[in-house]
C-alpha cells in the first residue's frame, strides 16, 4: 500500500482553506487523517471531507505531532506563532501568508518555475507559497525568461476581492445589492466603495509610495527567478470581481522574441492555456474562464508597438486556486513524491 499522510489545514473555514480541502479531495491526495483547524469561533462545527465528517478544531489546542504536512492560510500573525511550533513538532509547513516569504533560508516556490527549491524545506521545516499575483505572472513569464531573458516588466493587476477573504466577498455582494436598491452602503473591509468601482490600493502603503502588494511582486519575482537584476514596476488594483485576478503585463526581453515564438513556447509550457483568437470574446476573462479552474490563461499576446524588445500579455487565473490553494497542494505533492 502506498504511503498516506496526516494533513492539517490551518484556516480551514476561510476562502483559501475551504479550497485547499476541496483540491486535496479532487486530486486524490493520499490523506490518512485530515485535521481542519480554525479559531475557537469555529471549533466544533462540522465539514465533509472524502465522505467523512470532520469536526473543526481550535488551532490553539492542536498537537502538530499528529500531522506530517501543515497547509497554513489563517494570516501572517497566526503563521508567525504557529508555523515554527508545527515545524518543531515535525510537521512540514506550506505557508500561504507573507510571513516567511522574504527569509533567505525559506524556499519560495512555484512548482512550474523553481520546484527544486522545495529541497530546502529541511532548513526550517517551512516552505512559503508566493502571493497570488506573483504566481500567475511567473507561470506565464518562465518560458519567455528561459528562452530570451527578461530585463524589465511593467504590470498592472486587476485583483478579485476573494484575495482578501470571505468578509470581502460578502462586502462586494452587500454593496452591490444596496446600490441597486438605492440603500446606503457601508465600507468595512475596504476604505472606499468596491462595488461598481476600482481601487488603486491592495495591502498597506509603504514608505516608497508603493503598496506592499506591489512590492511583493518585485521581491518575490527576484527571489523565485533567482535574478536580482530583473526590474519590476507594478501597480496593484482591486476590482469588483469575486474570483480571478487579471494582469496586463508589458515585458522588455533581452533578445527579441516574436508573437509566433511566444505561442510556440507556450505549447509545451506546464500550467498554461493560451486563448488568443483576436476576435470578439476570443480571450480569457476572470469570471468566464478562470473562476473555479486550474490553468493560468494567457491572451492578447502582442508585440509592443512602442519598444523593439517589448511583448504584451493578458494573464488571468483563479487567485484562490492557482494563486493559493492549488499552488500549495502542488508543492505538497512534490514534497511527498521526493522528500518525505
Ligand atoms: P478568510 O476567508 O478571512 O479566512 C481566514 C481563516 O483564518 C479562517 O479559517 C479563520 O477561522 C482563520 N483564523 C482567523 N483567526 C484565527 C485564529 N486566531 N486562530 C486560528 N484560525 C484563525 O481569509 P483567506 O482568504 O482564506 O486568507 C487567509 C490568509 O491566507 C490571508 O490572511 C493571507 O495571509 C493568506 N492568503 C494568501 C494568498 C496568496 O496570495 N497566496 C491569497 C489569499 C490569502 P474562523 O473562521 O474560525 O475565523
Ligand atoms: N492583502 O498573501 O488582499 O500576502 O488580495 C494575498 C492577497 C495579502 C498575501 C489581498 C493580501 C495576500 C491579499
pLDDT per residue as tens digits for the range 97-140: 999 999 999 999 999 999 999 999 999 999 999 999 999 999 99
Residue 292 pLDDT exceeds 80: yes
Which band of pLDDT confidence, cut at 50, 70 and 90, is reported for residue 289?
Answer: very high
Mean pLDDT of 217-223: 98
pLDDT at 1: 57
The torsion angles phi and psi of 33, rounded to 5 degrees, stand at -115, 140
Total residue count of the chain as it appears in this document: 340
C-alpha cell at 315: 494573464
Select from 249, 324, 318 the least CA-distant residue to 286.
Answer: 318
Burial of 226 (0-12, 13-18, 19+ CB in 10 A): exposed
pLDDT of residue 101: 98
Q: What is the pLDDT of residues 274-288, one digit of tens each?
A: 999 999 999 999 999
| d(C-alpha 156, C-alpha 236), whole Å | 6
Instruction: Compute the distance from residue 164 Cα to the ligand 1 centre, in Å.
Output: 9
Q: What was the pLDDT predicted at 3?
A: 96
Q: Which residue has the cell 497542494?
A: 329
Q: Is the per-residue pLDDT at 211 higher than 80?
A: yes
Which cell numbers in the block locate residue 256? 527579441
Q: 75, 76, 59: which is closest to 9 by C-alpha?
A: 59
Between the CA of 196 and the centroid of ligand 1 the distance, in Å, is 26
Chain Cα centroid distance, residue 285: 17
| pLDDT value at residue 2 | 84
- Give the separation between CA 105 and CA 101, rounded to whole angstroms: 9
Sign of dihedral through CA atoms 328, 331, 337, 338? negative
pLDDT grade for 87, boundaries at 50, 70 and 90:
very high
Q: What is the pLDDT of residues 246-263, one digit of tens each?
A: 999 999 999 999 999 999
Give the cell for residue 149.
531573458
Cβ contact 23:325 at 8 Å: yes
Tell me the pLDDT of the chain averaged across its residues. Answer: 98
| Ligand 1 pocket member 84 (CB < 6 A) | no
Cα–chain-centroid distance for residue 13? 17
CB 148 within 8 A of CB 255: yes
Give the pLDDT score at 89. 98
State the closest ligand 2 atom to the C-alpha of 323, by its place in the atom list counted from 1: 6
**Centroid of ligand 2 to alpha carbon of 77 (angstroms):** 13
* In 169-284, beta strands by DSSP E: 231-238, 245-253, 272-274
- Quick one: average pLDDT of 310-319? 99
With CA atoms as reference, report the closest residue to 136 among 293, 291, 323, 265: 323
Whether pLDDT at 221 is above 70: yes
Distance CA(69)–CA(222), nearest Å, equals 27
Q: Is residue 5 within 8 Å of 31, Cβ to Cβ?
A: yes
Q: Is the pLDDT of residue 298 over 70?
A: yes
Q: Whose CA is nearest to atom 3 of ligand 2?
A: 164
Cell numbers representing residue 19 in the block:
479550497
What whole-number distance in Å separates Cα of residue 33 and Cα of residue 290? 31
Mean pLDDT over 186-210 rounds to 98
The stretch 10-15 carries a mean pLDDT of 98
SS3 331: helix
Q: What pLDDT score does 49 carry?
A: 97
**Ligand 1 pocket test target in 20, 45, 74 with most atoms within 8 Å of CB:** 74
Is 90 exceeded by the pLDDT of residue 218? yes
pLDDT the model gives residue 96: 98
Nearest alpha-carbon partner for 335 in 27, 125, 133, 65: 125
Q: Residues 172-197: pLDDT tens digits? A: 999 999 999 999 999 999 999 999 99
Catalytic residues: 132, 245
Nearest to 148 by CA among 311, 272, 306: 311
Amino acid at each position: 500500500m502506498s504511503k498516506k499522510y496526516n494533513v492539517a489545514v490551518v484556516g480551514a473555514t476561510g476562502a483559501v482553506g475551504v479550497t485547499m480541502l476541496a483540491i486535496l479531495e479532487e486530486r486524490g491526495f493520499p490523506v490518512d487523517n485530515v485535521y481542519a483547524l480554525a479559531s475557537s469561533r469555529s471549533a466544533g462545527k462540522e465539514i465533509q471531507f472524502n465522505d467523512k465528517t470532520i469536526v473543526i478544531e481550535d488551532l490553539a489546542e492542536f498537537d502538530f505531532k499528529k500531522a506530517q504536512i501543515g497547509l497554513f492560510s489563517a494570516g501572517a500573525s497566526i503563521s508567525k506563532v504557529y508555523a515554527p511550533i508545527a515545524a518543531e513538532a515535525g510537521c512540514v509547513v506550506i505557508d500561504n501568508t507573507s510571513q516567511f516569504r522574504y527569509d533567505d533560508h525559506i524556499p519560495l516556490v512555484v512548482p512550474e518555475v523553481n520546484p527544486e527549491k522545495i529541497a530546502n524545506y529541511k532548513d526550517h521545516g517551512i516552505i512559503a507559497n508566493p502571493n497570488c499575483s506573483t504566481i500567475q505572472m511567473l507561470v506565464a513569464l518562465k518560458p519567455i525568461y528561459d528562452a530570451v531573458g527578461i530585463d524589465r516588466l511593467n504590470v498592472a493587476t486587476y485583483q478579485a476581492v476573494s484575495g482578501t477573504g470571505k468578509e470581502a466577498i460578502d462586502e462586494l455582494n452587500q454593496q452591490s445589492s444596496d446600490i441597486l436598491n438605492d440603500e446606503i452602503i457601508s465600507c468595512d473591509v475596504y476604505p472606499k466603495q468596491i462595488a461598481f468601482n476600482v481601487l488603486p490600493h491592495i495591502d498597506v502603503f509603504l514608505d516608497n509610495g508603493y503598496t506592499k502588494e506591489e512590492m511583493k511582486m518585485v521581491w518575490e519575482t527576484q527571489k523565485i527567478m533567482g535574478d536580482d537584476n530583473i526590474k519590476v514596476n507594478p501597480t496593484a488594483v482591486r476590482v469588483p470581481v469575486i474570483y480571478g485576478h487579471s494582469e496586463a503585463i508589458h515585458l522588455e526581453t533581452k533578445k527579441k522574441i516574436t508573437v509566433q515564438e511566444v505561442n510556440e513556447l507556450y505549447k509545451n509550457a506546464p500550467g498554461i492555456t493560451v486563448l488568443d483568437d483576436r476576435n470578439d470574446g476570443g480571450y480569457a476573462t476572470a469570471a468566464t474562464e478562470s473562476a473555479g479552474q486550474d490553468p493560468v490563461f494567457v491572451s492578447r499576446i502582442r508585440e509592443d508597438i512602442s519598444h523593439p524588445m517589448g511583448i504584451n500579455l493578458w494573464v488571468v487565473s483563479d487567485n484562490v486556486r492557482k494563486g493559493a490553494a492549488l499552488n500549495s497542494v502542488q508543492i505538497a505533492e512534490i514534497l511527498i513524491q521526493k522528500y518525505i
